[in-house]
Amino acid sequence: MHRFGEIAGERRYQDAAIRVIEAALRQQQSKGWFAHNCLTRSDAPLTHTIGYTLQGVLEVGVAAQRPDFVAAARKGVDPLVARIDRCGLLAGRFDADWEPAIGSSCLTGNAQIAIVCYRLFELTGAAEYKRAADALVGALKALQALESPNPALNGAIAGSFPLFGGYMRAGYPNWAAKYFLDALLLQHRLNR
């Protein structure tokens, strides 16, 4: 909405985007977690919806030159960076104390969190964000369907790991591949 306002020359859209982020930040708790951040479980949002929130807060913060928004995004992503497991994945849901609330991983959310980390690395130069994003992207690369007997699945990213996990059970949502591609493009740009 903020970018649309810039392109259209309509400040009211930019102002609306800022108000949306200000409302979201009123839901951010002291540990960086956002209340009311999921359509299905408000006590333990998906990393997918956490990713939407963090990316929106960050990008509007950058576009609107609001360091408080960027700081809020960092406050929300830092606990996730600390929760990336030895395989390079995040749990699919987190509670208000940033404790994993499900045993499976939401791969869409992993890609979205990688994007936020790459962007924060670009903005801050803090190497821990690049390391975190590279770990997440590396795990996704290992899980991407590349040699499926079903050609429609080649290139796809599953909803969950394992495949029958808690998000898009046994599914390959197109948005998982979209966010993975966005993360890959950022990784490529930053590695040049």
Amino acid at residue number 191: N
Task: Work out the angle at residue 162's Cα, subtended by the Cα atoms of residues 156 and 163, and round it to the nearest 5 degrees.
Answer: 50
Segments of the chain with pLDDT less than 50: none
Report the alpha-carbon distance of residue 190 to residue 192 in Å, rounded: 6
pLDDT of residue 121: 98
What pLDDT does 39 receive? 85
Largest CA distance in the chain: 51
Neighbours of 43 (CB within 10 A): 10
Query: In the prediction, which pLDDT does 85 show?
Result: 96
pLDDT at 187: 98
The CATH number of the domain where 168 resides is what?
Answer: 1.50.10.10
In this prediction, residue 40 carries a pLDDT of 87
Q: What is the pLDDT of residue 41?
A: 86
Least Cα distance to 81 among 144, 27, 134, 36 occurs for 134
Tens digits of per-residue pLDDT, 35-73? Answer: 999 888 889 999 999 999 999 999 999 999 999 999 999
Q: pTM of the prediction? A: 0.96
Range of the domain at 136: 2-191
Q: Count structural domains, the chain.
A: 1
* pLDDT, position 94: 97
Q: Provide the Cα torsion 180, 152, 89, 109; round to 10°.
A: 50
